[in-house]
């Protein structure tokens, strides 16, 4: 079963066993505006929690996407690199950024569930 958690920096993580799929939230894309460029980490890169892992750019500005937890990058979504506008149309679905093998599940403790994230962005 998949559990979805959220960070205060507006990333989402869908957790399935020890693998997390990471993207940015619909709230984040609405704040960024039209996304024109996405840069993803290399497969195999070991990410530390809170380190800049990806970049998402609108016409106006570049924003970092932080690793919500530590782990190794297993897979990246080339579709979102080829079509950055996917981030605006389907941030929580087709526009996932990367999959990461979770190093330490205790790091999930500080993340928010959907209700808490909704309150955070209210």
Taking the complex as a whole, the smallest distance from the CB of residue 18 to another protein amounts, in Å, to 29
- To another protein, the closest distance from the beta carbon of 82 in angstroms equals 10
Q: What is the 3-state secondary structure (H, E, C) of the chain?
A: CCEEEECCCCEEEEEECCEEEEEECHHHHHHHCCEEEEECCCCCCEECCCCEEEEEEECCCEEEEECCCCEEEEEECHHHHHCCCHHHHCCCCCCCCEEEEECCHHHHHHCECHHHHHHHHC
Which parts of this chain interact with another protein (CB under 8 A)?
Answer: 33-34, 36-37, 39, 55, 57-62
Q: Least distance from C-beta 36 to another protein, angstroms?
A: 4
Nearer to another protein, 23 or 84 (CB): 84
């Amino acid at each position: 079963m998949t559990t979805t958690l959220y960070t205060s920096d507006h990333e989402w993580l869908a957790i399935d066993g020890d693998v997390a799929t990471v993207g940015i939230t619909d709230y984040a894309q609405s704040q960024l505006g039209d996304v024109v460029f996405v840069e993803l980490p290399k497969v195999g890169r070991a990410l530390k929690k809170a380190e800049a892992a990806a970049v998402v750019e609108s016409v106006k500005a570049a924003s970092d996407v932080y690793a919500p937890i530590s782990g190794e990058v297993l897979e990246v979504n080339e579709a979102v690199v080829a079509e950055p506008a996917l981030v605006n149309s389907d941030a929580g679905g087709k526009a996932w950024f990367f999959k990461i093998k979770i190093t330490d599940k205790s790091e999930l403790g500080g993340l928010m569930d959907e209700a808490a994230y909704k309150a955070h962005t209210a």
